[in-house]
Amino acid sequence: MKRLIFLLPALLAGKSFAQTLGGNAVFNFLNQPNSAKLSALGGVNISSIGNDAGMVFHNPALLKDGMDAQVSSSFNSFLAGIRNYSSTAAWHLEGANTNLAGTVNYFDYGTIPQTDAAGNILGTFRPVDYVVQVSASRNYKEHFRYGVAMKYIQSAYGQYRSSGIALDVGLSYYDSLNGLQASVVVKNMGTQLSTYDGSGKKEELPFDLQMGITKRLQNAPFQFSFTVHHLQAFNTYYNDTSFRAAEGELGYNSNNLLQKIFSHVVIATEIFAHEKLHFTIGYNFQRRQDLNAYSLTSGLNGFSFGTSVLLSKLHIHYATGFYQRNMFHQLSLNFNWRGAL
């Protein structure tokens, strides 16, 4: 179970969904960033201006005709031997004036010992999560684009298995003249098809209402993003008072107004050092608060960093970030099978 325990802080970074307590929704892996660019932007971003098909997974309204024939593939070396693999392919159907994309996002948690209640080892099992998503988008008038995404979700932890379906709906406004893009997304509206214990009592999916805005400066090589998530719930924190007391953290204040407000905020800056070399810095307020706990505080918790090398036929994106005393490393490769990007 160690790998799952180490993954918990990352999963809690997007907690408090719909009516559930923070972190208690099913299929929380859906909130994990699937591409290096998104990870570098702080893990939550639905408005970044660019041509990365990997960003479509979290906002179908970002899918555009310029992504035709593009493939984005990503590998994330996460904590404790956990691996994440993701791939997105995009097409533009000119006759239907519609953009399509397909994504597979897969989590492999490695081989874990299977034990009974007394701790006796009975064997091993290999838990996995994955989602298959189909996205579509169309333009509306000059500046708007709307999109929808349907996803099939599968989770298997030994003999415990669950599946579900969900729908995302997004709307984006893009003003190329002023370098401005704004988006709103409603994510993970759906239901479990089957439950882990086989009962008819279904758990809620990680519903999320997000809004974001990105501005690229006209006379300076910078692009800034401001994103807010989980707008459907003001208090996104889950405070386990008994656990904190056992860890000696009695001073936690779950009623801090500013803390609750900023828990919804993710900010990011993209620096265009050269037309072929970009740098990214992101900061996720809630991730920092979640990880600065239980005597494992790090001054870099919540920060993420990225580098992009944009060649004519291949875009290479790298991202890293801090989870207490650990770091992740994510690499994404984008190419177009018909020629240059």
**Residue 28 — pLDDT band, cuts 50, 70, 90?**
very high
Question: Distance between CA 54 and CA 127 in Å, rounded?
Answer: 25
> Cα torsion for 39, 191, 231, 22, to the nearest 10°?
-80
Query: Are residues 151 and 130 in contact, defined by beta-carbon separation less than 8 angstroms?
Result: no
Average pLDDT over residues 193-213: 94
232's tokens: 């459907």
CA–CA gap between residue 15 and residue 289 (Å, rounded):
12
Query: What's the chain's Rg over C-alpha atoms?
Result: 20
pLDDT at 326: 81
| Residue 293: pLDDT band with limits 50, 70, 90 | low
Q: What is the C-alpha to C-alpha distance for residues 159 and 233, in angstroms, rounded to an integer?
A: 34
Q: Which of 156-160, 205-209, 277-281 has the lowest mean pLDDT?
A: 156-160
Measure the CA–CA gap between 117 and 337, rounded to whole angstroms.
Answer: 52
Question: Could you tell me which CATH class the domain 2-336 is placed in?
Answer: mainly beta
Please give the average per-residue pLDDT across 238-254, as a whole number. 57
Mean pLDDT of 270-288: 95
The DSSP code sequence of 272-284 is: EEETTEEEEEEEE
Q: Which residues contact 5 (CB under 8 A, 6 or more apart)?
A: none
The pLDDT value recorded for residue 85 is: 97
Residue 12 has pLDDT above 70, yes or no: no
**CA distance linking residue 329 with residue 307, whole number of Å:** 12
Would you place residue 4 in the very low, low, confident or very high pLDDT band (cuts 50, 70, 90)? very low
Residue from 58, 62, 63, 60 nearest 31 by CA: 58
Residue 229 is predicted with a pLDDT of 97
The pLDDT > 90 percentage for the chain reads: 70
- pLDDT for the residue 14: 37
- pLDDT reading at 74 higher than 90: yes
Across residues 244-262, what is the average pLDDT?
67
Cα(44)–Cα(47) distance, rounded to whole angstroms? Answer: 10
